[in-house]
């Protein structure tokens, strides 16, 4: 019996040793995997770094590229497009004006009653219309007839006090958010379709001409007085309310900037200088690139796999379309190399663009003690359950690194514009304010992003200069802004109240 007991004790001890060794090995493996996770996180933080010296180099590079783009066509990655907008709203505009905002699968028609300095926007009405799928790939006439019909129906609902003066044509601002080669304030040829549209016979055609012909077919007496994009509309809306507005930036799904340039500072401008002496430039700044941009392996892979490799590099590191996708790519690497979510990579994590920036923002803003929002988002979007608080904290850190880089680079871009205009320094007895009108869902809803961008602006400019630089939210540039540009470019110079 003694021998059996001893034997059993030996077996138990061996089993216990084996179990202890297994636990120890598991702990070592776990700690090894965690160390790998931390190494990936640290590497991300370092490669996304935006120290103030680097940001100043990026701002300088933006200014240099702006000069090059104004000097000649194709002289820079920045297109620096001449918008032909040489009269921004002053606030004195009066009358009834229309806008058409076409930028995706829906379009809006708006009417705005302007009451001059005292009344500003007295009344506004709009209607949103969904475009049938077949018209997005049909003919130019089919699409523009559909739009003109909706416009005519909207005009027929003008209520009391919402009529143009007798003998006058209705005037329309047309926001067309597709690539256009603009030839005047109210004409521009379509370069190519995006966003799911593919109407071959419209390419290289003047989109204002196509819309005008369709309105004539509908018997609608309306003149397009301005063809603009949403960024220029935002600038117009900002200037209408505040004459100190000098530039507009869109930070949404995509990103762009426009600003007011001295007409005699545009070497590539061939025409007569406008009476105002000013010209709005559409920068198309999403295409900016510089060797100083802090790009990671995730950015490079995203770019290579995108529909436009080598293009829109600035946009791909700062805009809402891409921030969530960069976070997904980092988490995928953690899952693959460090078994961050367990022994297998969660299948949903392999789907590009499954993690959208609004979800990233919700996780980044989670203030609950157990980061419950992070846990719920992982479960709902990626079907990842049982995440520890430690893991959730890593995910918030990844969101923070990616968003902070985007916000700080946006601020550097704005400083580049201020430098170009000579508004980045303090001048004796000069207390002129410089207001930047901002719009877009990323700026409006991702508060940590917009807060970081504004604090970085102050850091870059210094307190004294920053006192005179103001960031203002300017809403609905593509709608109200377009109607204001119709007013400021009206064929009737003295626009009276109807």
Return the active site residues.
195, 230
What is the distance between the alpha carbons of residues 205 and 1, in angstroms, rounded to a whole number?
A: 101
> CA 140 to CA 210: how far, in whole Å?
7
3-state SS string for the chain: CHHHHHHHHHHHHHHHHHHHHHHHHHHHHHHHHHHHHHHHHHHHHHHCCCCHHHHHHHHHHHHHHHHHHHHCCCCCCCCCEECCCCCCCCCCCEEEEEEEEECCCEEEEEEEEEEHHHHCEEEEEEEEEECCHHHHHCCHHHHHHHHHHHHHHHHCCCCCCCCCCCCCCEEEEEEECCCEEEEECCEEEECCCCCCCCCHHHCCCEHHHHHHHHHHHCCCCEEEEEEECHHHHHHHHHHHHCCCEEEEEEECCCEEEEEEEEHHHCCCCCCCCCCCCEEEEECCHHHCCCCCCCCCHHHHHHHHCCCCCCCCHHHHHHCHHHHHHHHHHHHHHHHHHHCCCCCCCCHHHHCCCCCCHHHHHHHHCCCCCCCHHHHHHHHHHHCCCCCCHHHHHHHHHHHHHHHHHHHHHHHHHHHHHHHHCCCCCCCCCCCCCEEEEEECHHHHHCHHHHHHHHHHHHHHHCHHHHCCEEEEECCCHHHHHHHHHHHHCCCCCCCCCC
CA distance 484 to 97: 8
* Tokens matching residue 195: 């966003």
In sequence order, the β-bridge partners of residue 121 are: 114
Pairing of strands 278-282, 255-262: antiparallel
How far is the C-alpha of 214 from the C-alpha of 224, rounded, in Å? 12
Interhelix angle 2-47/320-338, rounded to 10 degrees, is: 150
**HSE-CB of 354 using CA atoms within 13 angstroms:** 18
Bridge partner list, 472: 437
Q: Which CB contacts under 8 angstroms, 24+ apart, belong to 155-159?
A: 155/98, 155/220, 155/222, 158/96, 158/111
């Amino acid at each position: 019996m003694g021998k059996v007991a001893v034997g059993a004790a030996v077996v138990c001890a061996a089993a216990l040793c084996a179990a202890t060794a297994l636990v120890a090995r598991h702990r070592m493996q776990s700690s090894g995997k965690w160390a790998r996770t931390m190494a990936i996180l640290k590497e991300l933080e370092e490669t996304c770094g935006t120290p103030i010296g680097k940001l100043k180099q990026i701002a300088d590079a933006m200014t240099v590229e702006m000069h090059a783009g104004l000097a000649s066509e194709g002289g820079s990655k920045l297109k620096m497009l001449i918008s032909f907008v040489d009269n921004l709203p002053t606030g004195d505009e009066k009358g009834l004006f229309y806008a058409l905002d076409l930028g995706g699968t829906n379009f809006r028609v708006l009417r705005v009653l302007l009451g001059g300095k005292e009344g500003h926007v007295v009344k506004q009405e709009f209607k949103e219309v969904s475009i049938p799928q077949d018209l997005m790939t049909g003919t130019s006439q089919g699409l523009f007839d559909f739009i003109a019909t909706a416009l005519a129906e909207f005009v027929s609902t003008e209520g009391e006090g919402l009529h143009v003066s007798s003998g006058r044509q209705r005037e329309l601002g047309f926001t067309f958010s597709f690539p256009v080669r603009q030839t005047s304030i109210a004409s521009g040829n379509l370069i190519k379709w995006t966003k799911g549209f593919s109407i071959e016979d419209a390419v290289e055609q003047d989109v204002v001409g196509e819309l005008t012909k369709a309105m004539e077919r509908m018997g609608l007496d309306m003149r397009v007085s301005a063809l603009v994009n949403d960024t220029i509309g935002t600038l117009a809306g900002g200037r209408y309310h505040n004459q100190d507005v000098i530039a507009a930036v869109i930070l949404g799904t995509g990103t762009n900037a426009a600003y007011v340039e001295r007409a005699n500072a545009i070497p590539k401008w061939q025409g007569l200088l406008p009476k105002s002496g000013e010209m709005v430039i559409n920068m198309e700044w999403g295409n900016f690139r510089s060797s100083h941009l802090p790009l990671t392996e995730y950015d490079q892979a995203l770019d290579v796999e995108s529909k436009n490799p080598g293009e829109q590099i600035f946009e791909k590191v700062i805009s809402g379309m891409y921030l969530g996708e960069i976070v997904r790519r980092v988490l995928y690497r953690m899952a693959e190399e460090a078994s961050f979510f367990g022994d297998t990579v969660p299948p949903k994590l392999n789907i590009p663009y499954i993690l959208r920036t609004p979800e990233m923002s919700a996780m980044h803003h989670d203030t609950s003690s157990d980061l419950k929002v992070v846990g719920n988002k992982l479960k709902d979007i990626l079907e990842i359950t049982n995440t520890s608080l430690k893991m959730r904290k890593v995910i918030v850190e990844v969101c923070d690194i990616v968003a902070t880089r985007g916000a700080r680079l946006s601020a550097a871009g704005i400083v580049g514009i201020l430098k170009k205009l000579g508004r980045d320094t303090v001048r004796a007895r000069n207390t002129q304010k410089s207001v930047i009108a901002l719009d877009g869902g990323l700026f409006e809803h991702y508060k940590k992003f917009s807060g970081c961008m504004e604090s970085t602006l102050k850091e870059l400019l210094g307190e004294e200069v920053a006192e005179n630089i103001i960031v203002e939210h300017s809403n609905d540039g593509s709608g109200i802004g377009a109607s204001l540009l119709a007013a400021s470019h009206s064929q009737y110079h003295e626009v009276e109240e109807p």
